[in-house]
Structures are given as C-alpha cells and as structure tokens.
Structure 1
Amino acid sequence: MKKILLVGLEYSGADIEQVVIETKGLGEPEICGEHAALPLYEYDVIIINPQSYSHFLFGRATEHSASLKELGSLKKENDRYDFDTVFDDGERIKELNIAISQGAKLVWIAVEDKRESFYGKRTSYQGYLNDDVKDELEHSCKYRKRSTRLKIIKKNNFSGYFESLSQCGWGLTWQPRSKDESWLAETPEGYCLGKEIMVDGSTAWLLTPPTSPEALNVLIKCMLSGEVGITKQKKVEDKVKIKHIPSGDIISHIGRMNLLLVTATEIETRTILKYLAPLDGQEELLEGTIDNLTYRVGKFGAYNAVHFQCGMGTTGRDASTLSTYDAIHKWQPKAIVMIGIACGKDPIKQKIGDVLVSESITAYEPMRIGSKTIPRGPTSLAGQVLLNRFRNMLDWEFMTSPKTKSRMIVGEMLSGDKLIDDQEFKDELFELFPNAIGGEMEGAGVYAAAARLKLPEWIVVKAICDWGDGSKTKESQPLAAEMATSLCHAVFSKPHSFDQLLCQTETVQADVVTDLYKESSSNEILPIDKKLLTEVSAVFTGYKMHQFFEELSNSRSVYLEMMTDFEIGLSRLLAPDKKMRNRDLEEVRSSFLYAIQEFLNFSTTTFSSINNVTARFYGGVSEFQLLTTHREGFDKEDVEYLELIRRIYKRWEELHEQVRGALPDFDWC
C-alpha cells in the first residue's frame, strides 16, 4: 500500500488501487487534529503547495487564505493558531529529510510568495521546508499568464504532466538567474515551468501548479507510474572537479600562480569555485594545504590563479590581514583580488546586485572620539593596472531581472570589522565619509598585507547584498556573490589585458636561463634543462624549507644550513647580474660554475675545489636518506615535507649531471 500526502491540494479522481491519498497540513497534530499530516516519513509521495499559510498549515484553503493579514486573522479565530505555536518547521524538516533518505518522492508546487509582518517577518515559502526551493523562487521573477504553449526540453519524468498542461493551460512561470540542465520544460519566452532540485543527494522537483483537476490527476499518476525515480546527486567535488593533493604537491605550484583570489564566506567561495577551471593539462581543480591555509589552484579566465578563504574581518587570527600576508609571502603573486559581498549605501541610487569596485579602501575603524569624531584611518588607492582594467570592462552584462542589469560602481569603499545592520550607525558612518559607495569587512586587511610585502596590485570587488539598515538577511548573498565573481571573471578572461603583469613567471625565468647560456659570438647554448631549473626554483624561492628544519634536533642542523644556502645559490643561478649577459662564453661558464658552487656550498667555509663541495653534498644526501628511513618520530605533516625534500634532491642530482655533461672540459676530479 502506497501513501500519498497532498499539502494544499485536493484530489478528485477515482480511487487508485493500493494507494491511499490524504490531503493534510503541516501544522501541529495536537492543535490541527485531523487536518495534520502524520510524520512525513510515513508517506511514499509528498506534494507541497504553500499557496497560503492556511494551505500548508491545514492542507486546504480557509476563509482567511485571501486576507493580507492571514496570520493575524487565524490567531484571532483561535489563539492556538499563532504561527509559532501551530507550526514547528524544525521537526517537519527533519521528517522530510528522513522521508527522502528512505526513497520518498517529493514535488513542490511553485507559488507566489505571501509575506506578512506578524511578530517578525513571515513568508509562506516556509511551507516548502527547504531553503534551496525558497532561494530559487525568491531570486526569480515570477509571471502569471494563461497559455497552452510550452516546450518540453527533453523527455523527462513529467512529460505526461506537461502534455496535460498543453491542453488545459499553465498559469505560473518563473525566470531563475540562469538556465541549466536541470530544467524540464519552458515557455516560449524561455521562462521555467519545471526543474529538478537536489536534496541530500536525491532528486526532487519544483513544478508549475496544476490548473485543473485533470492535470493534478496526471501529476499523481506520473509520481506513481515508476517513471519518477530517485537519482543521486554528484558530490560538490565532482561538480566542480576538485582533486585533493598532498602539501608537497600543492607547494610545487608556487611561483607559477601570479593571480591570488581571496574570499571570506562560504557562499563567496562556492561561487568562485564554479568559475575556476582546471589548469592546462589537468582535468580537475587542485586543492591542498600549506601550514594553516587551504588553497585551490586553477585557471580564472585566461590566467593561472590560486584561491583561499580567510576569516571575516581584518583583526582576528584567521581574518584577512594575517591570512593574506601568509598567502602573499608563500605564493609571491603579482596581483590580488578580493571578491565577495558588501553593504550598499543608497537603495534609491543603487540596487541589490550592483558591483562595487574599490578605487580606494578607507579603514573607518581608527577614529578620535571626543566632542567631535575625527576619522584617522588611511585611505589607500587600489592597484593602477587592476583598476584600469576594471574601469575599461565596458562589455560585461549580468541581468538581475528581465528588465534590470547589474551596474559596476567604482569609488571609495569603507572597510572595518563591524557587521553593519543599524540605520543610525550607518547614517553616521557615511556622514563621516560622504564619498564612499559602500562598506565591507576585509579589504583593509588585504591592502595592509599587500603594502607590507610591497605588492602594489590589489583590488576589492564586491556586490551589494543588503543595505545595513536593520533588515539584513542572507537572501541576496548568492546573487551578489555571483555578480561580483562574474565581473571579475569577465575582466580576467581577456587574454592580453594582463600580459605584462600576469604572464611573466615561467617565461621570464626561462629567458634568463637561456640568455645566461648564450654565446655572444655564436648560437651555442649549453644543454641545461630550463624547465628543471624553473621547477626547482619555484619550490625554493616560494617556500623556505628551512622553516621546517628549525624545529628539528641538533643532529639535523646541517640541513638548515644546507637549505638556506641552496636558496641563496639557486637565486644567484636564476637571477644573475644583467651585465653577465654581455660577457663572452668563457666568462659566462665561469660565472655559472660559481653559481653552482654557491648552490652546493652548505657551510660558511670557502672551498678551493668544486670537487670537495660535490663530495660534501653527496655525503649530506646519504645522511639525509638514512635519516628519512627511520620515520617513527615524525607525524604525517613532517613526512610530507621530508618526501618533498627527497624529490627536490633527486631533481637537483639530475641538474648536476646535466651541468657536468655541459662542461666536459672542466676538471671535476
């Protein structure tokens, strides 16, 4: 026996064998009595239509359903019908999730929202018992029309239902922010009539409402026919194709990522991951940890980029200042972009979804408080190149509704640790800073970190999600995050906009090495593997391994000195004096050998023979290899570092052999 629950709908068809159909509400059983549904996991099929509060509380319309003050009228009729008393959404959500996990089939009927101020802000969308459905409809434009014209996008579980609507007509459609493969049917204008919604790994559906008893009967038959099944949702990692890699592997990409992207909230991070693509030659984004931060590596538009999420604000342990400083110090990027959501200044001149681009960032927290408040925080200009590219992004367009598109607004942005949601405080703040266009919480920290590490190219790009006036909600955060990320992606998708800023690392290093080996009077080039040099350089110049060895015992102190001198020597090898390029071949060879000697020399002693240095080097390698075979005292992170160093030693040995082969006339003995 199958049990079907209709919430807010009435079945008028013939009895169906082995099927019980109930019209019940989601209200409390002890209050609503026979009108209340059993626990939702008792049903095999659930269809929810929250057309009014009465529809989802009692399962059907009441005399109060059409009232603009429906909740007040219900409470006046019966004090126990107070909304917070009669409806326990927390318990019903738990029941619904259990039902879905047990294989129940779920359909939500799309309706227009009914909002009411009743001891707080209320919405009839609470009857959906699902935030994704609520978010889908709240951020869509809804249209009431009457038409039989529709297009079934692909043969789907509800083809019979949509065919019935093509006879009796449909009455409500909606336009989400974007169209994807989850759509089932659409109107001639391209508006949605039905789509899949994923719930805890299973598929449910959001459909345009039935406009006749016959259409409802067909919908129920579709649910019972066996055509509608449960399909598992792909994991987020599969959807955005993330590959988790060891710390040593993520470190190997240091020196190759010139663009650093920063977010501060989960919704900002989830949005930016949708726009990141795998690096050339990879099929997935790469994710790994270095010290306290998690990084994702991929392509953002036309450029290689690394992303991390900091904590909210500027002054906390995990907040933007310290986290960004660590990220810049390790990755050595050429530009940094903070992407996310912000508070707008003026709801009359601005709109939700407008993107604020920082011409400058002003730290508003430092103030002199006395008889008169005097701001004392710095105002810092954003990077000249980045600001120019955003200002000249004239062909970006993102529609927030069928008739409205997002605007890019460039100007002064305020930054501080306060989450502003008070109209009086906001008014006072913008009176002190009348030229500001909006506010956020992390930009001042990003600037401070970039300035301390002498990185001039930084910018903050955030879209308006609220007005900081006491009515703050999370409703518009996904839309705002999407707008800001879309603009940034468009800017960095232009392949030549940042040629001089973001396309230098590997190319320039290779050119330096090539020039180093060129003979001024001939075309001879020493056959040294430039890619190998770049690979080794990226690790040592980007991440100093001696920080690890500082914590080891005295018996391993030799490696601290070795790694320090390796870094110095390799720096000299890949960044020689410019005058060296004009010397003749013999002088170049001589200088090259000196750099190799510096590369090998792990003590302060001056060695008279490179052979002695080589012997000491291989002695150190042997001791190192012996040390790494006894790892009982190391934890997992230590072992990863040791394995990384082992791989670097192996690569260095290959480089050393190439040097010996390239200089056969040199007395190596």
Structure 2
Amino acid sequence: MNPKADVLLVTATKVESKAVIEIFQDATVQVPQRVPIGDRIYHSIGSINGAKIFMVQSEMGSGGPGASLQTVEKGIHALSPSIIIMVGIAFGMDSEKQSIGEILVSQQLMLYELQRIGTKDESPKIILRGDKAHASPRLLSYFRSADFDWDESKCKVNFGLILSGEKLVDNIDFRQQLCDLCPEAIGGEMEGSGLYVACLDKKVDWILVKSICDWADGNKSENKNNQQKLAAGNVASFVLHVLQQIPFTGKEQAWEGVSSQESLKTSADKIFNIQKSEKTKDAAKAIDIKFAKFSAPKYQQLAEMFKNESKSTLKSNYVPVNPLYSQNDIDFLFKYDISKFDYNLSSEINQFFEDLSEAENARIYIQNNCKNPNPQIQTLCTIEYQNMKSYLRSSICKVADIRSQLKKIYTT
C-alpha cells in the first residue's frame, strides 16, 4: 500500500528542492527518505505539527511531460494528500516596491496564456481570457494567521494575484505587457496553472507560495545563484513556519480556549521508526545525524534565555539544562562496526528518538511563545519547559542503555 501524505510540497527546480529538504531536515531532525511510487520518486521529509510531509519535484512549466499538471495529478493518486502547496521562486513586478527574497502568496492565480488577440485603432489589442482562480480559502486563512507572528526582518510576505504561464519571462517589455493586462499582479511564475487544474479536478485544497528571485527584466543571469538560493530559502522557511503554527491534518478544530492553544503547539513527531527490513548501516547513519542535531547548546541557550528574562513572572521556574551529550557520546558510534547492529535494540533506539523529538518540539514551542504576554500561554511554556527537561533526562538514560548493549554485542 502507498503511504499517505497530509501535505504534499511541489517544487520545480533543484534549488527549490534542496532548500525545502535542508530547512525541513533541521526542523524534523529526520533524514529524508526516497519513496518510489509508480514512475515518480517522492521524498518523505518528516512530520510537522502532526502532519506527514512529502515533497515531489516536477519539470518546469505546467503542461509538458513531467510538468506540474501531470506531477500533481500523479501525486494526488499516489499519496492522497489533503493539502498541496507549490513552493518555489518567481519573478517580481516592481523592483521599487518589492525586494529580492520577498514572499508571494497566491490569493488568486491568473492563467495568462489564454488570450484574445485582436485589433483596436489599427493596433494589436490583447485581452486575457484565462481563469482567475482563488486559492483554498482555508489555506489562505491559515497562511494569513501564521503571518501574524512571522519575523518580517527576514523578508516581507505579500498576498495577492500571481500570474502563471508557460513562458520563462526575462524581457522587461513582455513583463510590462503582463503588468498592463493585469496591473494588480504581484509576481509571475510557470507551474501554478498545472497545480490549480489538477487540484480543482480532484477537489484538493491548494495554494501557491513563491519568493521573488528576479525582475524578469533581461538581467535574470546577474547574481542568479545567490538570489535564487535566498528566495528558495525564504519561502521554504515561511512554509515551515506556517506548518508549525497550524494543524495541517485536514481536520477542523473548534476553539476551546487554553486546550485549543495547546493543540496548536508542535505535536510530538515520530522521528525515526526502525523496521526489520531496513539496512543496518542506514539506521546507524540516521542515529549519528540525530546525535549531532540534538546538541546541548540548543537547550542550554534556551534555558539561559529564560533565566535572564526580566519581564517573565515565571522566571524562577526556569533553570539551566544540563549538557545533553559529551563529545564521546556523539562520537561513540564511529568506534563500532555498524554491520553488527542487533535489531533487538530497535525498541530502545525508537524510544530514544521519540524522547528527543518530544524535547525538541517542546523547545520549539517555548521559543516561539516565550514572549507572549498571555498568562495562559506562559503557563503552557512553563509546562513544556518541565516536559523538555524530563524528555532529555529520559534520552540520556536511553543512550546509556544503548551504549551498554552495543558493547555487549562486540564482546560476545
């Protein structure tokens, strides 16, 4: 049976895909897994806020083989996602009012390829006849809500109408024609029309989120790599931020005061589930990566921030977290022949990862909410801080057990 995705992220270029994988890996602390289904390769990139996230890369454009229309259709069939988000880079319309790296969210999508070209006063007259599609109202609401606490010092977020067509635009006269035809447009790109048509047909919620990497003015090649990396990183970070704030599981949730606030915090991610069919070397590699990711400074810095928070009435509840690992703890796996891994350790290792996941999610929740003046939120921060310390202590005990059992394997 095929796996099921709650959220499918769709990219169109290598720089977009790498940005999504790198930024989400830092958040989920999970090594992305390639999942072949049919003639496509999907990437399972972890769970955020209880939602299983997959990514797939299409070819550029909407209508050709492997382009966004076909890719999204096959993704819906393979993974049955309830939400599809197109993540990537786009061109901006006004370099004086916009900036490189600014994020564009599709309130509407204008399909500009369908046109009537006639003559008026002996001059060519173009009238757009394509759809002006509305993104999912539910997703728009989610993205607007998450934008409230997005750090705009990183980049600005702009909601509006985005142009979509098959042309890779790098001509200022053509861009100006598009602007004249649709003056309210905030940017343009190539894959959105395929996303819209596929999701409309299958009744799947969709939204397009892209970041400005150039101005389509004939200078696309200037500083291209740096600007594309900046834009791709910004949009991946914003999408992650939205997923961390909102329960993207396809289910409506009623407002219930504090309990609802608590449900919005990042839920426990099941980071790593060792199965007997997996190769032992892959399992050990994943363990080593997680040791490196869950380094003591993250927790120590957070503890010090609370300790020094002068405005917090609860500061007495926060004490520094003891360092999680020594360098020996991080390095010890290198001393053993990974191929001798015993699967009797799978339950201990799985529990170890779950404890780390719980601790990390508590840390993220505290970090995102520690300055919220709401006393109920502050109470939740206090609870999560104590939970974080508890999970860290548990994981320290587990790593000791794992070390002990590994040594037994090598001495027998």
TM-score range, shorter chain: 0.5 to 0.7
Q: CA deviation at 1:497?
A: 6.1
State TM-score, norm by structure 1.
Answer: 0.35
Q: Tell me the residue number matched to 2:42.
A: 295
Q: How many aligned residue pairs are there?
A: 243
CA distance in 1, matches of 2:249, 2:61: 29
How far does the alpha carbon of each residue in 1:538-575 deviate from its partner, in whole angstroms, 9 at most, with x for none?
A: xxxxxxxxxxxxxxxxxxxxxxxxxxxxxxxxxxxxxx
Q: Tell me the residue number matched to 2:74.
A: 326
Q: CA deviation at 1:370?
A: 1.5
Corresponding position: 1:490 with 2:241: yes
Contact 2:21 2:45 in 1 (8 A): no
CA distance in 1, matches of 2:109, 2:209: 11
Closer/same/farther in 2, CA of residues 283 and 470 from structure 1, 3 Å limit: closer
The amino acid across from 1:334 in the alignment is: S
Pairs within 5 Å for 1:12-31: none
Q: Tell me the residue number matched to 2:91.
A: 343
Of 372, 379, 395, 2:149 maps to 395
Contact 1:321 1:445 in 2 (8 A): yes
Contact 2:196 2:206 in 1 (8 A): yes
Contact 2:2 2:78 in 1 (8 A): no
CA distance in 2, matches of 1:432, 1:495: 36
CA distance in 1, matches of 2:145, 2:219: 34
Secondary structure of 1:487's counterpart equals: helix
Corresponding position: 1:375 with 2:122: no
Contact 2:7 2:248 in 1 (8 A): no
Contact 1:352 1:464 in 2 (8 A): yes
CA distance in 1, matches of 2:248, 2:38: 33
Contact 1:264 1:309 in 2 (8 A): yes
CA distance in 2, matches of 1:376, 1:333: 30
Q: CA deviation at 1:397?
A: 1.5
Secondary structure of 2:245's counterpart equals: coil
Contact 1:279 1:298 in 2 (8 A): no
Q: CA deviation at 1:285?
A: 2.2
Q: Tell me the residue number matched to 1:558.
A: none
Q: Tell me the residue number matched to 1:451.
A: 200
Contact 2:142 2:246 in 1 (8 A): no
CA distance in 2, matches of 1:414, 1:467: 13
How far does the alpha carbon of each residue in 1:442-479 deviate from its partner, in whole angstroms, 9 at most, with x for none?
A: 01100100011121x10000000000001112230000
Corresponding position: 1:477 with 2:224: no
The amino acid across from 2:242 in the alignment is: V
Secondary structure of 1:476's counterpart equals: helix
Contact 1:398 1:483 in 2 (8 A): no
Q: Tell me the residue number matched to 1:263.
A: 11
Pairs within 5 Å for 1:502-521: none
Pairs within 5 Å for 1:117-266: 251-253=1-3, 255=4, 257-266=5-14
Secondary structure of 1:396's counterpart equals: coil
Structure with the bigger percentage of helix? 2
Q: Tell me the residue number matched to 1:511.
A: none
Secondary structure of 1:314's counterpart equals: coil
Unmatched runs of 5 consecutive residues or more in structure 2? 120-124, 254-412
CA distance in 2, matches of 1:501, 1:307: 24
CA distance in 1, matches of 2:151, 2:23: 16
CA distance in 1, matches of 2:246, 2:108: 26
Largest Rg, 1 or 2: 1
Corresponding position: 1:417 with 2:171: no
Q: Tell me the residue number matched to 1:431.
A: 180
The amino acid across from 1:326 in the alignment is: K
CA distance in 1, matches of 2:172, 2:140: 31
Unmatched runs of 5 consecutive residues or more in structure 1? 1-250, 400-404, 503-669
CA distance in 2, matches of 1:340, 1:388: 20
- Structure 1 vs Structure 2 CA RMSD: 2.1
Contact 1:356 1:411 in 2 (8 A): yes
How far does the alpha carbon of each residue in 1:153-195 deviate from its partner, in whole angstroms, 9 at most, with x for none?
A: xxxxxxxxxxxxxxxxxxxxxxxxxxxxxxxxxxxxxxxxxxx
The amino acid across from 2:238 in the alignment is: L
How far does the alpha carbon of each residue in 1:356-393 deviate from its partner, in whole angstroms, 9 at most, with x for none?
A: 00001111000011112111100110011111111122
CA distance in 1, matches of 2:76, 2:26: 22
Of 462, 466, 469, 2:210 maps to 462
How far does the alpha carbon of each residue in 1:115-135 deviate from its partner, in whole angstroms, 9 at most, with x for none?
A: xxxxxxxxxxxxxxxxxxxxx
Of 360, 363, 379, 2:111 maps to 363
Q: Tell me the residue number matched to 1:406.
A: 155
Contact 1:259 1:336 in 2 (8 A): yes
Q: CA deviation at 1:283?
A: 5.1
CA distance in 2, matches of 1:331, 1:364: 30
The amino acid across from 2:150 in the alignment is: W
Q: CA deviation at 1:325?
A: 0.6
Pairs within 5 Å for 1:26-65: none
Secondary structure of 1:347's counterpart equals: coil
Contact 1:357 1:410 in 2 (8 A): yes
Contact 1:314 1:442 in 2 (8 A): yes
Contact 2:6 2:249 in 1 (8 A): no
Pairs within 5 Å for 1:590-601: none
How far does the alpha carbon of each residue in 1:306-336 deviate from its partner, in whole angstroms, 9 at most, with x for none?
A: 1100000011101101111111122111000
Identity %: 37
Corresponding position: 1:272 with 2:27: no
CA distance in 2, matches of 1:498, 1:267: 27
Q: CA deviation at 1:273?
A: 0.3
